[in-house]
Structure formats: structure tokens, C-alpha cells
Structure 1
């Protein structure tokens, strides 16, 4: 018998799945899958005290995030590395190269988000 998940467990599972879809995607990361992973990683990074990553309240979750496991941060970083590699649909199709550079910079900021020592998540 499977017990129902708590809302906190469901949030963590949804974030994990977003990262897993990217890391399991093979040579090409789909744009939609990559976009979901970037958004999920931004949420994870915003949960790190002092990270400097802030989610607009209009774009973020209605409820506060639960305590996130440290392993989720590692999954987020791995997924973002894939999103930033050749073969990622998100890297192509930019009309303005300065927009592309700004997007890459923002994704890199999310991947490198850190808080004070001892406050990773």
C-alpha cells in the first residue's frame, strides 16, 4: 500500500523530476524540459539564505518552499550544466546575442548560488 505524499514531499519530487528529465535527456536537451529545470533550479537557489537569487512573488509558488534536501542542490547544478552545454535547445534561437549572453549569465548565477558557510539549504 502506498501512503499519500505530504505537500512538502510532492514539492521535492516535482523539483527532482524536473532535474532528472534534463539529466536523462540524452545528447539533446529539449527547450521545454530545460526551461522547467532552470525554473526549478532558481527555486532551489532562492531557498539558500543569502544566495542573492530572488523569485518574483508573481512568478513563484503561492506557499513557502519546504526544507529542501542538500542533494537537490547537486541535482540542480548537474541539470543546469546540461542546459548550458551544446545540444541544449535553449542555447539556440536567440535573435540578439546580448540577450543570449545575459540569459547564460543568469543561469550561471543560479548554478553558482551559495549562501554563507553552513547555509547551503
Structure 2
């Protein structure tokens, strides 16, 4: 089937990753998420589509614990996940930066798609949940 929508688990690769998480022993689930994020974050060449899709799914799991949307109940993991350490959020940000970079097969694949803009906005939303943009501060000189 491949990819059927723009969500983090709306493709075969991410759904398979969710299944791998469900099949993994409880104590190994964080390591599996970390490994997928690290693989994408450490990519120095072209990030292939399957690594990118797994990284987006892993980042969505981290974001869900930071106030983001719950993961897909149909294609996401059905087994409980550990509470991820705070430092994993920054690794997820780095992975999403690689997913959205020019050297990403996902970017190439979504470039000409009618849903490409919505996909990019979804990745940006995930990233902003994990590392909110710094809001400009009011000019302190004018405060009384």
C-alpha cells in the first residue's frame, strides 16, 4: 500500500515500526525509538525514505508525551511505551531537521505532491512541539 496520508503513521514503514515496538520487550522500546532518531539525525548523506518515515513516527511518539496529538490508534503502537527522557526530544528535533533537509528522500517524494505542503507543515508542527520557537520579547525599555 505504501503511503496513504500525511500523518506520522500513515505509511507502511511507520506502521511496521509501530509493530516492531509492540513486539520489543518493554525495556527495549526506548532504545528502539532512540536508534531510529539517531539514524536519521546522524545522516550525513542522503536520508532514505524508510529511515525518514521511521524518524517521523518516533518523533511523533516523543511529541505525544509533550502535549502533542496522541499517536494513531490504528497504525501506531498499541503496547504501552515508557516515559521518554527529556533529552530524547532534542534528538527528535535533530532527526526532523534531517527529514526536512534538501538531502531527504521524503522531501523529494512530497515535493510534487498535492499534499506536500500539508506534510511539511505536519513535520514542522512536530518539531515546534519538541522545541517551541522562541517568542520575541517586548522591549523592556517601554515597560513601566
Specify the TM-score bucket, using the shorter chain as the normaliser: 0.7 to 0.9
RMSD of the alignment, in Å?
1.9
- Matching residue of 1:23: 41
Moved runs in structure 1, 4+ residues, more than 6 A? Answer: none
Note the C-alpha offset of 1:24: 2.2
Whose radius of gyration is greater, 1 or 2?
2
1:53 aligns with 2:69: yes
Mapped partners of 1:12, 1:69: distance in 2 = 9
Q: CA-to-partner distance for each residue in 1:102-121, whole Å, 9 max, x for gaps?
A: 0000011111115xxxxxxx
- Matching residue of 1:74: 90
Note the C-alpha offset of 1:96: 4.6
Give the TM-score normalised by structure 2: 0.67
Mapped partners of 2:111, 2:59: distance in 1 = 25
Q: 2:30 aligns with which of 12, 26, 42?
A: 12
Structure 1: gaps of 5 or more residues: 1-5, 115-121
Contact 2:96 2:127 in 1 (8 A): yes
2:57 counterpart SS class: helix
Contact 1:53 1:110 in 2 (8 A): no
- What is the number of residues matched between the two proteins? 107
Contact 1:77 1:111 in 2 (8 A): yes
Mapped partners of 2:49, 2:111: distance in 1 = 16
1:40 aligns with 2:62: no
